[in-house]
């Protein structure tokens, strides 16, 4: 079930990107909404889980490691994860192999903490699904709506690899020592924190207050809080 949801979130995003790919503002709004959702999942679910573990003293460095890893991956993806797809309209600006490698590693690592997860409404899983949609939208818009010859990039291969990356991470995670789980979760926490904060805090033109952006962040935060409450108090009481 979780495998299917992970693949569907990418396929749905790519499909929407193929259809609405010219609407760049729509993609940006979706990204800002997902960033509000993601940073809330990060602070409400991921970090409490990380720091509740027995090895919590040493995990801060892995969170920082996740932030640094994401910065390195963005050298490959050129900021695809936070909507910088206008930089990619020229084929010379990005190598499809680099894009493929960067997105694959990113999604693969996110899938590892899902090992042994059976709850399709787990906030961490929902965070990944919500996060996958805008990235896949941008991917679909980039691969299927560009002026460059469509044959120049193996578009479907890139989509397939990205769609399968998190499920593959999840599968591999089942074979890891369960004691490693907090470390991977800490790395993903750092990745989530970096991506969401870059999207949210990216400066607006002339540093004016962008009420629409603030509204979208608040909406994303609210959705994540509702999911958090629903998950913690499914029957009106805490477990």
**pLDDT on residue 153:** 58
| Alpha-carbon span 138 to 87, nearest angstrom | 12
Q: With cut-offs at 50, 70 and 90, classify the pLDDT of residue 69.
A: very high
**pLDDT on residue 83:** 65
Task: Characterize 194-211 residue by residue with b for buried, 16 or more Cβ atoms within 10 angstroms of its Cβ, and e for exposed.
Answer: bbbbbbbebeeeeeeeee
| Alpha-carbon span 198 to 82, nearest angstrom | 7
Q: What are 98-125's pLDDT values in tens digits? A: 888 888 999 999 999 998 888 888 888 9
Residue closest to 193 by CA, chosen among 75, 92, 86, 63: 63
Q: What are 147-160's pLDDT values in tens digits? A: 554 544 577 888 89
Residue closest to 114 by CA, chosen among 65, 31, 174: 174
Question: Is the pLDDT at 30 greater than 90, yes or no?
Answer: no
| Alpha-carbon span 193 to 213, nearest angstrom | 18
Question: Is the pLDDT at 143 greater than 50, yes or no?
Answer: yes
The domain locations on the chain are: 2-232
Q: What is the pTM of this model?
A: 0.85
**pLDDT on residue 151:** 47
Taking a C-beta distance cutoff of 8 angstroms, is the pair 5, 129 a contact? yes
Question: Is the pLDDT at 61 greater than 60, yes or no?
Answer: yes
Residue closest to 134 by CA, chosen among 220, 45, 228, 73: 220
| Alpha-carbon span 76 to 124, nearest angstrom | 25
Question: Is the pLDDT at 193 greater than 80, yes or no?
Answer: yes
Question: Is the pLDDT at 38 greater than 50, yes or no?
Answer: yes
């Amino acid at each position: 079930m979780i495998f299917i949801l992970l693949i569907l979130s990418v396929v749905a995003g790519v499909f929407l990107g193929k259809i609405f790919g010219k609407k760049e503002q729509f993609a940006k709004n979706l990204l800002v909404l997902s960033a509000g959702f993601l940073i809330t999942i990060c602070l409400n679910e991921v970090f409490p889980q990380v720091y509740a573990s027995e090895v919590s003293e040493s995990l801060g460095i892995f969170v920082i490691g996740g932030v640094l890893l994401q910065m390195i991956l963005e050298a490959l993806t050129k900021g695809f994860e936070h909507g910088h797809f206008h930089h990619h309209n020229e084929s010379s600006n990005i190598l499809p192999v680099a894009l493929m490698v960067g997105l694959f590693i990113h999604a693969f690592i996110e899938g590892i903490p899902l090992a042994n997860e059976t709850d399709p409404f787990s906030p961490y899983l929902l965070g990944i699904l919500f996060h996958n949609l805008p990235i896949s939208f941008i991917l679909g818009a980039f691969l299927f709506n560009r002026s460059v010859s469509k044959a120049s990039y193996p578009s479907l291969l890139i989509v397939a690899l990205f769609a399968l990356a998190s499920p593959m991470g999840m599968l591999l995670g089942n074979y890891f020592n369960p004691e490693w789980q907090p470390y991977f979760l800490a790395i993903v926490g750092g990745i989530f924190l970096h991506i969401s904060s870059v999207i949210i805090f990216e400066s607006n033109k002339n540093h004016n207050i962008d009420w629409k952006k603030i509204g979208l962040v608040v909406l994303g935060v609210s959705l994540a809080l509702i999911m958090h409450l629903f998950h913690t108090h499914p029957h009106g009481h805490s477990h």
